[in-house]
């Protein structure tokens, strides 16, 4: 059915289907309705009516009851079963005015009925009335469906609405607003005073001023928002977001206010929980920062203490080496000199000469041993010539080479600064790492690189031994490679502390082969910034 309106000119163009087996009756009806402006189509019986109806889709049907092949009752029932015929007005024409015929007409879906003989003059007006009533009913049904959808949407969204006509003082509340306030429609008047009864007393003045300011602002089409609380009759407190929009007439007077009330209680509760969690996280973060600061302070104190211990140890080593050199070394030299004098005096006395020779051999061995201990305590090359000359002469390197290990040294030509502490620390780290290679790595190749790049001294040491396991730093298992916390002097910790006491970085791990992603051996990387005067 085409859409109809209340405009009479549009009704005059409506299409009507006349169904009657009496050709005279069809002609009379056709003439009367055509003169009223209707577009007329005809059918001679019920079967024909079904065909014409689906072809032309009329706006209204005028159907006789008594017809051959299919009577009007059956035809009406068939029309109502069609998707396009459910809402079309059908006026039944019958010569039977008994109650049973009327009841049957309504049962099969007739909109109304009229008895013969018909008043042709008022037939057009009656059809227009039926069309108008059908249009109104259809629009009411659409409005009811829209209101039902709106109510469901408001209920799901927790959004209530209200209207206030300032000219007539009429008010309206939506069903969802009643639900939010926990009130029943009909038990109270939907007024501002009723609404304020559901608001805490201390917020009444704020809401009234908010509404007055919105009216006085004179901004039609612009909304204003306010957050406040609602107290339901059972004492439950809700948080709501209230919005209003004031409409003004052509003269600038406020005439209508629209409002919405959104229940944001769950949102507020979630926000409160989030804020509480953030406060707890902030407190935890504060405690963690305090713990980290304390840990950093303790670590700094430990490093400072270890640095002092290392310096004290180096001082004691130097002192002991000097004492051995000055005292014991001189005594051994004196013994050797006296033995030489005796050897010259005894001449050819073979027995005395042999004894003196034995004394000289023992004294020489004692001297070599003392000299070796002096070098281990304080390498003379390091003291006299510096790090670059002392590294190649390290006894541990000679020991590795005697075992068939290839040792490659790539050293910088000269260091840009003169720092005894720096040179001693690097010497001890290299000594410790290479000693561990001798004891545990089983390596065939060892490489040491020492160079300066952009004000930073770099030392890299590699071996191709059995490899390095990071877990071994914290376990009591046997060590392998250059880093061995259990079986080597200072181990990893000692080497790391020496480097970090100079403000440097220390890293140890497995050596990654350049031609693959496999790991073999051990690699130590050291970077120390050089402070130049």
Tell me, what CATH number does 386's domain have? 3.30.565.10
Q: How confident is the model at residue 483 (pLDDT cuts 50, 70, 90)?
A: low
* Percentage of residues of the chain with pLDDT beyond 90: 24
pLDDT tens-digit map of 134-171 = 888 777 777 767 767 766 766 776 788 899 998 889 99
Q: Count CA within 13 A, CB hemisphere, residue 16.
A: 30
Is 276 within the bounds of a domain?
A: no
482, 524 contact by CB (below 8 A): yes
The answer to whether position 43 is within a domain reads: yes
Query: Of 362, 377, 392, which marks where a domain is finished?
Result: 377
* 386 and 373 part of one domain: no
- Residue 333 contacts residue 382 (beta carbons within 8 Å): no
Name which residue leads in pLDDT, 204 or 7. 204
- Asked if residue 147 belongs to a domain, the reply is yes
Give residue 47's pLDDT.
93
Domain stop point among 229, 263, 297: 263
Instruction: Check: CB of residue 514 under 8 Å from CB of residue 458.
Output: no
* Closest alpha carbon to 342 in 326, 358, 319: 358
Instruction: Report the chain's mean pLDDT, rounded to a whole number.
Output: 81
Specify whether 509 is located in the same domain as 396: yes
Whether residue 243 is contained in a domain is answered as yes
- Phi, psi for residue 236 in degrees, rounded to 5: -70, 135
pLDDT band at 446 (very low <50, low <70, confident <90, very high): very high
Contact 275, 176 (CB under 8 A): no
- 131 and 181 share a domain? no
Distances (CA, A) of 156 to 173, 174, 447: 17, 14, 74
- Domain assignment present for residue 271? The answer is no
Tens of pLDDT, residue by residue over 425-442, are 888 888 888 888 887 767
> Within this chain, do residues 125 and 164 fall inside the same structural domain, yes or no?
no
Q: Are residues 111 and 225 located together in one domain of the fold?
A: no
Residue 346 contacts residue 360 (beta carbons within 8 Å)? no
Residue range 299-346, pLDDT digits in tens: 877 777 777 777 776 666 666 666 666 656 666 677 777 677 776 766
Q: Give yes or no for a cis peptide into 117 (omega within 30° of 0).
A: yes
Q: Which pLDDT belongs to residue 308?
A: 73
Q: Structurally, how many domains does the chain consist of?
A: 4
pLDDT of 137 reads 78
Query: Stretch 186-213: mean pLDDT, rounded?
Result: 92
Q: Are 447 and 416 in contact (CB under 8 A)?
A: no
Say what the pTM is. Answer: 0.39
Look at residue 185 and tell me if it is in a domain: yes
- pLDDT at res. 476: 40
Residue 378: the pLDDT is 67
pLDDT of residue 325: 62
340 and 458 housed in the same domain? no
| Intra-chain end-to-end CA distance of the chain, in Å | 100
Q: How far apart are CA 120 and CA 32, in angstroms?
A: 6
pLDDT at 449 over 90: yes
**At which of 330, 353, 377 does a domain end?**
377
Tell me what the mean pLDDT of segment 38-43 comes to: 92
Tell me the pLDDT tens digit for each residue of 273-288.
999 999 999 898 899 9
Does residue 146 share a domain with residue 168?
Answer: no
pLDDT at 235 over 90: yes
Per-residue pLDDT band at 40 (split at 50, 70, 90): very high
- Within this chain, do residues 163 and 48 fall inside the same structural domain, yes or no? no
The reply to whether 269 falls in a domain is: no
* Residues 473, 492: Cα–Cα separation, whole Å: 8
Bridge partners of 456, per DSSP, are 453, 529
Res 200: pLDDT: 94
Pair (218, 339) in one structural domain: no
Q: Residue 234: which CATH number?
A: 3.30.450.20
DSSP secondary structure string for all residues of 72-139: HHHHHHHHHHSGGGSS--EEEEES--SHHHHHHHHHTT-SEEEESSP-HHHHHHHHHHHHHHHHHHHH
Q: Is the dihedral of CA 234, 235, 239, 241 positive or negative?
A: positive
pLDDT at 211 over 50: yes
Report if residue 272 sits inside a domain: no
Q: At what angle do helices 120-157 and 23-35 cross, to 10 degrees?
A: 70
Mean local confidence (pLDDT), 468-497: 54
- 3-class SS of residue 182: coil
* Residue 522 and residue 388 share a domain: yes
Helix (H, G, I), strand (E, B) or coil at 200: coil
Question: Percent of the chain at pLDDT above 70?
Answer: 79
Range of the structural domain that residue 506 is part of = 382-529
Whether residues 146 and 180 share a domain: the answer is no
Q: Which of 237-241, 350-354, 399-403 has the highest mean pLDDT?
A: 237-241
Mean pLDDT value of segment 487-509: 78
What gap in Å lies between CA 228 and CA 259, rounded to an integer? 14
**CATH number of the domain that residue 64 is part of:** 3.40.50.2300
pLDDT on residue 472: 46
pLDDT tens per residue, range 516-525: 555 678 899 9
Regarding whether 525 and 404 lie in a shared domain, the answer is yes
Token pair for 150 = 């709106």
């Amino acid at each position: 059915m085409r859409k109809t309106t209340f405009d009479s000119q549009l009704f005059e163009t409506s299409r009507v289907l006349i169904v009657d087996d009496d050709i005279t009756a069809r002609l009379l009806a056709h003439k009367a309705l055509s003169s009223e402006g209707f577009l007329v189509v005809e059918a001679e019986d019920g079967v024909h009516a079904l065909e014409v109806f689906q072809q032309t889709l009329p706006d209204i049907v005028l159907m006789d009851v008594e017809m051959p092949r299919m009577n009007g009752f059956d035809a009406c029932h068939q029309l109502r079963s069609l998707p396009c015929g459910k809402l079309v007005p059908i006026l039944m024409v019958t010569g039977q005015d008994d109650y049973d015929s009327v009841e049957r007409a309504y049962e099969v879906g007739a909109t109304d009925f009229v008895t013969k003989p018909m008043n042709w003059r008022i037939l057009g007006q009656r059809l227009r009335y039926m069309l108008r009533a059908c249009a109104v009913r259809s629009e009411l049904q659409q409005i009811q469906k829209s209101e039902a959808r709106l109510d469901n949407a408001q209920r799901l969204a927790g959004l209530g609405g209200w209207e206030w006509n300032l000219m007539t003082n009429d008010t309206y509340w939506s069903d969802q607003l009643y639900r939010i306030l926990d009130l029943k429609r009909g038990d109270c008047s939907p007024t501002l005073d009723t609404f304020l009864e559901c608001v805490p007393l201390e917020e009444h003045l704020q809401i009234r001023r908010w509404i007055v300011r919105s009216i006085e602002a004179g901004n039609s089409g612009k909304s204003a928002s306010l957050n406040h609380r609602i107290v339901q009759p059972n004492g439950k407190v809700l948080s709501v977001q209230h919005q209003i929009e004031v409409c003004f007439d052509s003269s600038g007077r406020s005439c209508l206010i629209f409002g919405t009330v959104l229940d944001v209680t769950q949102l507020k509760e979630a926000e409160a929980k989030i804020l509480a969690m953030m406060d707890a996280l902030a407190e935890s973060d504060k405690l963690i920062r305090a713990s980290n600061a304390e840990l950093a302070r303790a670590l700094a104190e430990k490093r400072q203490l270890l640095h002092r211990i290392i310096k004290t140890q180096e001082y004691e080593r130097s002192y002991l080496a000097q004492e051995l050199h000055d005292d014991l070394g001189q005594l051994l030299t004196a013994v050797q000199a006296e033995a030489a004098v005796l050897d010259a005096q005894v001449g050819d006395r073979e027995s005395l000469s042999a004894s003196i020779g034995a004394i000289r051999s023992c004294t020489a061995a004692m001297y070599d041993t003392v000299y070796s201990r002096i070098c281990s305590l304080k390498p003379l090359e390091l003291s006299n010539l510096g790090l670059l000359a002392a590294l190649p002469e390290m006894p541990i390197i000679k020991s590795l080479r005697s075992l068939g290990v290839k040792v490659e040294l790539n050293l910088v030509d000269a260091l840009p600064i003169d720092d005894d502490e720096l040179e001693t620390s690097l010497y001890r780290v290299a000594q410790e790492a290479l000693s561990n290679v001798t004891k545990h790595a089983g390596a065939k190749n060892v490489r040491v690189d020492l160079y300066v790049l952009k004000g930073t001294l770099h030392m890299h040491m590699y071996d191709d031994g059995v490899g390095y396991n990071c877990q071994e730093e914290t376990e009591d298992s046997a060590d392998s490679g250059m880093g061995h916390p259990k079986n080597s002097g200072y181990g990893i910790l000692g080497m790391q502390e020496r480097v970090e006491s100079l403000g440097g970085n220390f890293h140890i791990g497995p050596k990654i082969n350049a031609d693959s992603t496999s790991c073999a051996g051990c690699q130590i990387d050291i970077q120390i910034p050089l402070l130049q005067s």
